Amino acid sequence: MLHGKHILLVISGGIAAYKAQTLIRLIQKAGGTVQAILTKSAAEFVSPLTVAALSGKPALTELFDLTQETEIGHIELSRSADLIVAAPATANLLAKLAHGLADDLASTCLLATDTPIMTAPAMNVRMWEAAATRRNMATLRENGVIVVGPDEGEMACGEYGPGRMAEPEAILAAIETHFEGAPKPLAGRYVIVTSGPTREPIDPVRYISNASSGKQGTAIAEALAALGAKVSFITGPAEYANPQGCDIVRVTAAREMDAAVEKALPADVAVFCAAVADWHVANPAQTKIKKEAFEDPPPLNFAPNPDILKRISTLESGRPDLVIGFAAETGDLEARAARKFAAKGCDWLLANDVSTHHGVFGGNGTDIVFFDSNGHERWGAMTKTAVAQKLAQKVAAHFR
């Protein structure tokens, strides 16, 4: 319920702007009040008159509208709200917010406030996945901006993927959670999550690694933190290595990851999501290996890395209450994963097929077979975020 809560709704220009009208109604139905600001391009998608009629207040658009400036003032406007919600939030609006640009009423209000800000990004999938947007989103998350969505699906432009604005009902739920405080079933629990690839040096400039993006581990760490767990996120050099609300420990080689896990113990739960190299080069060269020094390609001698998952699963004392492993296989998934589950000694194992044609490494989707002492079950095709949420809920249920 939102009784007594005043929301400043910033609508920026995207096809999803029409959904902001539903959001206004939902907020009002829940007992809240809404003051809407439209960017110039939002006014091309929805009429300020309609928004004004729905919200019962003039829809504001211009920074230099004297009446608005003298009677309300943009500073007062943003500070008097209990929450600012930018929905839809375009790539442009998010970039401006990340960089502190203020060249219209919407961006000025977002900058001139210490009121919490929630954003519901909406954009084409390529724009959402662009390196610049990813950097901006990481900055915004670091700055404490709440991000809802985007959803994955068919886009107005005909492409498929993440970028669709979260449904108004989901945004309302996030607003209510913000005010009520979400239930925190994992409060007081301490969790270790490993993620990403490891990098095993050959010489000071060359290394052996793998294609793990860190997406699944990041999503799991965030989902556990959202349920109140204190998360120590131990990551190799990955593209995704910045989960919100977690303590981050960055490592390079498997033996460093092992040492970091050891240091992070004791823990209630350990999730081993990292794609750890099985071997390291036994004697990495101290200086760059010169092509001229070898007639044939130089031989590499390998030594085994510690199997972190197995080591922690079989600890005689100080074993986490719940140890969760992953299995990345290429073919014959269930049989191989079943063998791995038995060999590692973990409590749960999440197996998926990472053959290149499945696009799991680096992709947003996966297809999990879940093993525990009762047997195994297929979770079916899901996004990595959905897998993370399901796993976090299962962890919470384990401790209930």
The site for ligand C5P (CB under 6 A) is made up of 194, 254, 272, 274, 276, 278, 305-309, 325-327, 340
Is residue 109 part of the annotated active site? The answer reads no
**Min dist. Cβ of residue 261 to ligand C5P (A):** 8
Task: Identify residue 381 by its one-letter amino acid code.
Answer: A
DSSP-derived 3-state class of residue 35? strand
Beta bridge partners of 74: none
Residue 68: CB partners within 8 Å, gap ≥ 6?
Answer: 58, 60, 62, 74, 105
Tokens coding 15: 């096809």
Contact status, residue 41 vs residue 119, Cβ threshold 8 Å: no
Cα gap 331→293, rounded to integer Å: 40
Output 113 or 313, the one with its CB closest to ligand C5P. Answer: 313
Output 206 or 339, the one with its CB closest to ligand C5P. Answer: 339
**Min dist. Cβ of residue 306 to ligand C5P (A):** 6
Output 168 or 325, the one with its CB closest to ligand C5P. Answer: 325
Output 123 or 275, the one with its CB closest to ligand C5P. Answer: 275
**Min dist. Cβ of residue 279 to ligand C5P (A):** 9
Q: Token match 């760059």: residue?
A: 288
Output 68 or 235, the one with its CB closest to ligand C5P. Answer: 235
Which one is catalytic: 157, 246, 273, 346?
Answer: 157
**Min dist. Cβ of residue 265 to ligand C5P (A):** 14
**Min dist. Cβ of residue 252 to ligand C5P (A):** 14
For residue 198, count CB atoms less than 10 angstroms from its CB and return exposed for 0-12, middle for 13-18, buried for 19 or more.
buried
* CA quadruple 164, 170, 172, 176: dihedral sign: negative
Cα gap 72→61, rounded to integer Å: 13
Residues serving a catalytic function are: 157
